[in-house]
Amino acid sequence: MRSSGGRRRRHTGFRLERVNPFGVILAGGRATRMGGGDKTLRLVAGRTLLARAVERLSTQVVAMAINANGDPERFSAFGLPVIPDGAADFPGPLAGVLAGMDWAALHGQTHILTAAGDTPFFPEDLGPRLAAALSEGIPAAFAAGADGRAHPTFGLWPVARREDLRAALAAGIRKVTLWAERCGAVAVPFPAARYDPFFNVNAPDDIAAAERIVAEHGL
């Protein structure tokens, strides 16, 4: 997979204003390690994970939706469209990316910016950094931590690749990194911060860890 630091044709990159992405918060997982239910509705220091994600993403996109399955009324307090997976059997976050692409295509948008709903402290400059990595030869980008670990659910994706993604899901591809490589995406490293911006809540103990981050850094 290419890295944004690699050699490519001379280009100054895109600005986020040129891309004008729709935002999609991926909240369609089954949360088995949390005992089931809606993980993104769990509280961290008095606010849900989803509320924290919505706040961070809202300043980086022109419109936003929540990708989740089941009764959409449980998210009614957010006042956002709730778009379910179009694929059956919970194939993972790629199905949410595709649902977001289909939603954006209905409104004539060219890109979506995705973020995981269980990661409450993701970078507030996620969109601008990813947009800057795009060029005529690089259509998509996703985040990587300062340690080099990929975080492909945080990505800027071209809606024009939605039929390719649909075919990939039908062919059994489930890992976001595999499809990202297939569509020519680059990994964009984010600098080290006072806390891990990609810390995600997977298990009950992670709630306490997230609350410590909030207390220590005033988030």
**Per-residue pLDDT tens listing for the chain (219 residues):** 444 333 333 344 677 767 789 999 999 765 545 556 689 999 999 999 999 999 999 999 999 999 999 999 999 999 999 999 977 676 789 999 999 999 999 999 999 999 999 999 999 999 999 999 998 789 999 999 999 999 999 999 999 999 999 999 999 999 999 999 998 999 999 998 899 999 999 988 999 999 999 999 999
pLDDT recorded at residue 21: 95
Amino acid 33: pLDDT? 52
Q: How far are the Cα atoms of 87, 139, 160, 196 from residue 121, in angstroms, in the given order? A: 29, 26, 29, 8
Residue pair 111/159 in contact (Cβ under 8 Å)? The answer is yes
**Contact of 101 with 157, CB cutoff 8 Å:** yes
- Asked if 176 and 199 count as a contact pair (C-beta separation under 8 A), the reply is no
pLDDT value for 2? 43
Q: What are the structural domain ranges in the chain? A: 27-211
pLDDT at residue 10, rounded to an integer? 38
pLDDT of res. 192: 86
Assigned CATH topology for domain 27-211: Spore Coat Polysaccharide Biosynthesis Protein SpsA; Chain A (3.90.550)
Please report where in the chains the tokens 């680059």 appear, as a residue: 186
Write the burial class of residue 216 (CB in 10 Å: 0-12 exposed, 13-18 middle, 19+ buried): exposed
Q: What is the dihedral of CA 42, 44, 46, 47, to 10 degrees?
A: -70
